[in-house]
Amino acid sequence: MSNPTGDPTGNADRTDLGEHATTDEVLAGIDLRGSTAVVTGASTGLGLETARALAAAGGRVVLAVRDDAKGGAALASIRETVPDAAIETAIVDLGSLTSVREFADDVLARTSTIDILINNAGVMYTPFGRTADGFEMQFGTNHLGHFLLTNLLVPAVLAAAPARIVNLSSGGHRGSDIIWDDPNYERRPYDKFESYGQSKTANILFTVELDQRLMSRGVRSYAVHPGMISTELGRHMTRDDMQALLARAKSGPSGGLPARKSIPAGAATSVWAATAPELADVGGVYLADCQIAEASDYALDTASASRLWAMSEAMVGQTFDWG
Please tell me the distance from the alpha carbon of residue 108 to that of residue 188, in angstroms, as a whole number.
40
Closest alpha carbon to 164 in 229, 95, 210, 228: 210
Please tell me the distance from the alpha carbon of residue 70 to that of residue 81, in angstroms, as a whole number.
18
Amino acid identity, position 22: T
User: 127: how many CB neighbours lie within 10 A of its CB?
Assistant: 9
Q: Give the 3-state secondary structure of 247-281.
A: HHHHCCCCCCCCCEECHHHHCHHHHHHHHCHHHCC
Please tell me the distance from the alpha carbon of residue 315 to that of residue 166, in angstroms, as a whole number.
22
Within 1-111, strands assigned E span 36-40, 60-65, 86-91
Please tell me the distance from the alpha carbon of residue 230 to that of residue 312, in angstroms, as a whole number.
31
Closest alpha carbon to 23 in 226, 268, 277: 268
Cα 3 to chain centroid distance, Å, stands at: 21
Please tell me the distance from the alpha carbon of residue 201 to that of residue 188, in angstroms, as a whole number.
20
Active-site entry in 125, 185, 196, 286: 196
Closest alpha carbon to 236 in 104, 135, 70, 124: 124
Q: At what angle do helices 192-214 and 239-250 cross, to 10 degrees?
A: 60
Whether 196 is catalytic: yes
Catalytic residues: 196
